[in-house]
Amino acid sequence: PCFQSRVCRYDLSEFAPLIDKRTLFSLNWRFGGPEGRGRYGHSDEEMETLLKKWIHDAGTAGWLAPQGVMGLFPCHGDGEDVVVFDPEQPGRELARLSFTTVIGAGNEDLVSGAQYFMPAGDSGYDIIGLQLTTAGAQVEAVIEEFKRRDDFESALFLQGFSDRIAEDMAEHLHDRLRALAGVAPDCGQRWSPGYPGMKDIMQNKMIHGLLKADEALGVQVTDAGEFRPTGTTAAVVSFHPEARYT
C-alpha cells in the first residue's frame, strides 16, 4: 500500500486529548514533576487551568495548528542505507537514507536501523514510512512578537506547547502509518535525523523533499538541516516486528 503523501490537520481543541500533559508540564513548560511543582506551590488544578487557557487562546487565534504529512514508499536496504523508490515508477531511486550503527541493549550487540529493511532481491520491495509533523508555520512570528513585547513567559509557554504538539503529532502519525501498513499498533520503530540512530541531520532535507512538506505544510528546512518553525520533527519508520532503537 504505497502512496506519496497524505496530509493530516486538526483543530487544537480536537487534538487536545492526544497531548502528553505530563511531559508538557514537567519538561516543555519547565515546571518539573508533580512533587517539585508542589514544593513551589503549583497545583495540578493550576496546570490544567493553564493548559485549557492555552488551548483556547492558541486555537482561537490560530497560533497553533497540529498538522503533518506522511507517506509510505517502496524501498530496500543496502548496507547502512535504505534506498527509497518512486511509488509511481518502481525502480526509480528517489533518495538514500543513511542510518548510524549504535550499541544495542546491554552493550551486547550493534544495531542499525537499516538492518530492518529487506535488501534487494527476488521478493520485491519493502515499505518505509516517512513523516513530518509541526504545530504550524505561523507560530514563530507569534513567539517573536511576545518577545518584542518583553512577554517572555508567554513566549516560553507557546514555544514549549508548539514543541509538545509536534512530538505528540509525530506519535499520532506513527500510529496512522502502522494502520496503513497493516501492522500491529506496537510493531516497528521510528528514527529522527540528528539523533544517535540517524546522526546526519541533513537527512531532514531528504524527508522534507520526499513528502513535499513546503507545499503541504509551509514548513521550511535550512541549509543546516534544521526546520522552520523549530517546533517541527521528521522521522523514518520501519514496520519490521523486531525493529528497535537500541
Per the prediction, the chain carries an average pLDDT of 92
Query: Helices 152-181 and 44-61 sit at what angle, rounded to 10 degrees?
Result: 80
Confidence tier at 1 by pLDDT (50, 70, 90): low
User: Model pTM?
Assistant: 0.91
- Exposed, middle or buried by CB within 10 Å (0-12, 13-18, 19+), for 91? exposed
Strand bridging mode 220-221 / 227-228: antiparallel
Has residue 2 got a pLDDT over 70?
no
Cβ contacts of 69 within 8 Å, gap of 6 or more: 5, 6, 7, 8, 131, 132, 211, 212, 213, 216, 217
* Cell representation of residue 60: 482561537
pLDDT at 67: 96
* Cell representation of residue 77: 536496504
Has residue 148 got a pLDDT over 90?
yes
- pLDDT tens for residues 42-86? 888 999 999 999 999 999 999 999 999 999 999 999 999 999 999
Whole-angstrom Cα distance, residue 183 to residue 181? 6
- pLDDT tens for residues 107-129? 567 889 999 999 988 678 999 99
CB count, 10 Å around CB of 182? 10
Whole-angstrom Cα distance, residue 180 to residue 71? 10
- Exposed, middle or buried by CB within 10 Å (0-12, 13-18, 19+), for 132? buried
pLDDT at 51: 97
Query: Helices 152-181 and 139-148 sit at what angle, rounded to 10 degrees?
Result: 170
Strand bridging mode 102-103 / 93-98: unpaired
**Nearest Cα to Cα of residue 7 among 88, 87, 67:** 67
Query: Which is it for the CA torsion 133, 207, 86, 176, positive or negative?
Result: negative
pLDDT at 245: 72
**Nearest Cα to Cα of residue 78 among 121, 109, 111:** 121
pLDDT at 37: 76
φ, ψ (nearest 5 deg) of residue 70: -140, 160
Has residue 164 got a pLDDT over 60?
yes
- pLDDT tens for residues 179-222? 999 999 989 999 999 999 999 999 999 999 999 999 999 999 99
> Helix or strand or coil: residue 36?
helix
Has residue 12 got a pLDDT over 60?
yes
pLDDT at 215: 93
Cβ contacts of 149 within 8 Å, gap of 6 or more: none
- pLDDT tens for residues 86-108? 998 878 999 999 999 987 665 56
C-alpha to C-alpha distances, 189 to 48, 167, 235, 236, 242, nearest whole angstrom:
32, 15, 10, 8, 9
pLDDT at 153: 95
